[in-house]
Structures are given as C-alpha cells and as structure tokens.
Amino acid sequence: MRLHRCAEIGCHELIKLGFDYCDKHYQSRMNSYHDRLKQSQELKSQTLRGQRDKLEYNRNYNETVRPELGHEFYQTKQWERISEYIKQRDMYTSSVDGRVYGKGDLIVDHLVP
C-alpha cells in the first residue's frame, strides 16, 4: 500500500493516498473551518441582506422540508386541543424536571402521532 506524509507542516505521520491530512490535523482543520463559518454567518446575519436571506431560507424550509417530516400535525386544531388537555390534566407541571410552568412555556410531546 502506498503512503505519503501529512500535508501539515512539521507532521511526519504517514497516511494513505487520497487523504491530505492525518486524523489529528484533519479534525483541527475541520474545527477551524466550522468556527470560521459560524463567525461568517453571525456577521452576515447582522446585515439587511443576511437577514433577508435567512428569512427566505426559513420560509423555504418551512414550505418544503417541514411538511415532509410530519410537522403539519402540530398545526392542527386536534393537536392544540390534545396539548391543552394534557397541560391542564398535569396542572402545567413538567414530567421531565417536575417544575411548574406558565401557560405558554410548557411544551407537550408524544411518542406516537
């Protein structure tokens, strides 16, 4: 099997052909890339163009991807009635942490739709 050295300066680890970096340097470069991407998105979201693009992306996501995932069920009157009934039945107490929440703060979830 043919090997070559990692492309990171000073690294002498041998890796397979087809890869540029060893696992250690690949992860550090990917982390750096994700950090820079996040910073870029944060800066872009502060501009009017970035805000418009974000709204357009969310609108497109809500119209195309979300209905495919079955989220339209949560928008029905039936789910609203069931949700309200469960909240009142449990006296607005969370089953996860046992805290009492306000009317709009508690979220009802289910296992089977």
The string of pLDDT tens digits covering residues 71-87 is 677 778 998 898 889 88
In terms of pTM, does the model score above 0.75? no
Consecutive 10-residue averages of pLDDT for the chain (113 residues): 92 93 94 94 90 91 73 81 89 84 76 57
Find out whether 16 and 1 touch, Cβ atoms under 8 Å.
yes
What distance in Å separates the CA atoms of residue 106 and residue 86, rounded to the nearest whole number? 10
Residue with tokens 């696992």: 23
What distance in Å separates the CA atoms of residue 50 and residue 39, rounded to the nearest whole number? 13
For the chain, which residues make up each domain, given as ranges? Answer: 3-69, 72-102
Find out whether 57 and 63 touch, Cβ atoms under 8 Å.
no
Find out whether 25 and 11 touch, Cβ atoms under 8 Å.
yes
